[in-house]
């Protein structure tokens, strides 16, 4: 199991009329890996990710996610992945408890499973005080943690995080990355896009997209050696400039 690729992408391309948003990208993600998916705004990260999570059909190429083909079995992919958007989208007018119940429900968990999961989450995140509060009244950091936990409710094989730390303070970001490590240690693959280059250093491997192509893919350490720079930030700047 260790070496099995949970995501396998070959020459994946997405065109919108004349514009090629994703230009023949290829990569693999191993089970249990934290895979950083970097790129400037408009580089094609989001489009690529949408194809992998089964809500956008590629123009050409091939991709298997969690063992299913994105062309033929997008519905099976959806059952096996979790997704958290940059908006930490939860329902503001529902309580924490109601949100957990709702999202557990749409992933087809039974009432008993939802209750067990919910109690576990309340315990782990220390939600006792706020479990009956409306989500809208909570600080962003809480929303982020709950949103992440909700994405993991159905024990997905892979969890896709789209800029999961936007707008939260450094301490909360740090705590959040601890949650990510814990998740990866439990065997769930983490596929994460981010703007923060210090976060790129936390990833096992990192890919950097420029203008629809993957220009670099390796461990942060090797990337820094390859470009002969001190930090991931410099790697990114070097790539983005040329």
Burial 80-96 (b: 16+ CB within 10 A, else e): bbbbbebebebeeebbb
Kindly tell me which residue out of 4, 11, 42, 55 binds other proteins, with binding defined by CB under 8 A: 55
**According to the binding rule CB under 8 A, does residue 91 interact with other proteins?**
yes
Residue 35's H or E segment, with its range, is strand 34-39
**According to the binding rule CB under 8 A, does residue 105 interact with other proteins?**
yes
Burial 143-156 (b: 16+ CB within 10 A, else e): bbbbbbbbbbbbeb
Contacts with 225 (C-beta within 8 Å, 6 or more apart), sequence order: none
Asked if residues 132 and 97 have their Cβ atoms less than 8 Å apart, the reply is yes
Residue 45's H or E segment, with its range, is helix 45-52
CA dist 224 and 212 (Å) reads 22
CB of 160 to other proteins, least distance (A): 8
Contacts with 74 (C-beta within 8 Å, 6 or more apart), sequence order: 54, 55, 57, 68
* CB closer to other proteins, 63 vs 235: 63
CB of 89 to other proteins, least distance (A): 4
Candidate ranges 80-88, 175-183, 186-194, 231-239; the one touching other proteins (CB under 8 A) = 80-88
Burial 105-126 (b: 16+ CB within 10 A, else e): eebebeeeebeebbeebbeebe
**According to the binding rule CB under 8 A, does residue 68 interact with other proteins?**
no
CB of 146 to other proteins, least distance (A): 13
**According to the binding rule CB under 8 A, does residue 79 interact with other proteins?**
yes
Kindly tell me which residue out of 107, 142, 148, 191 binds other proteins, with binding defined by CB under 8 A: 107
CB of 83 to other proteins, least distance (A): 4
Kindly tell me which residue out of 83, 177, 202, 236 binds other proteins, with binding defined by CB under 8 A: 83
**According to the binding rule CB under 8 A, does residue 230 interact with other proteins?**
no
Number of H helices, E strands in the chain: 9, 10
* CB closer to other proteins, 114 vs 208: 114
**According to the binding rule CB under 8 A, does residue 2 interact with other proteins?**
no
**According to the binding rule CB under 8 A, does residue 98 interact with other proteins?**
yes
* CB closer to other proteins, 103 vs 236: 103
**Contact positions vs other proteins (CB under 8 A):** 53-57, 75, 78-79, 81, 83, 85-87, 89-94, 98, 101-103, 105-108
């Amino acid at each position: 199991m260790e070496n099995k690729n949970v995501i396998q992408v070959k020459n994946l391309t997405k065109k919108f009329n004349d514009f090629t948003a994703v230009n023949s990208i290829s990569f693999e993600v191993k089970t249990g890996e934290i895979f950083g998916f970097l790129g400037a705004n408009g580089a094609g990260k989001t489009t690529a990710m949408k194809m992998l999570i089964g809500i956008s059909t590629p123009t050409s190429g091939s991709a298997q996610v969690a063992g299913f083909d994105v062309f033929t079995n997008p519905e099976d992919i959806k059952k096996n992945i979790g997704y958290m958007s940059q908006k930490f989208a939860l329902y503001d007018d529902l309580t924490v408890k109601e949100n957990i119940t709702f999202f557990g429900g749409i992933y087809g968990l039974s009432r008993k499973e939802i209750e067990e999961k919910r109690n576990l989450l309340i315990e782990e995140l220390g939600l006792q005080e706020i479990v009956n509060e409306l989500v809208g009244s909570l600080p962003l950091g809480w929303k982020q943690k709950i949103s992440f936990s909700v994405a993991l409710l159905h024990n997905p094989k892979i969890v896709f995080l789209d800029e999961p730390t936007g707008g939260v303070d450094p301490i909360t970001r740090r705590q959040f990355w601890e949650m990510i490590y814990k998740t990866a240690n439990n065997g769930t693959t983490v596929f994460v896009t981010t703007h923060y280059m210090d976060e790129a250093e936390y990833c096992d491997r990192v890919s950097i997209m420029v203008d629809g192509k993957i220009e670099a893919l390796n461990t942060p350490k090797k990337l820094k050696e390859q470009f002969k720079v001190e930090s991931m930030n410099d790697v990114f700047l070097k790539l983005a400039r040329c």
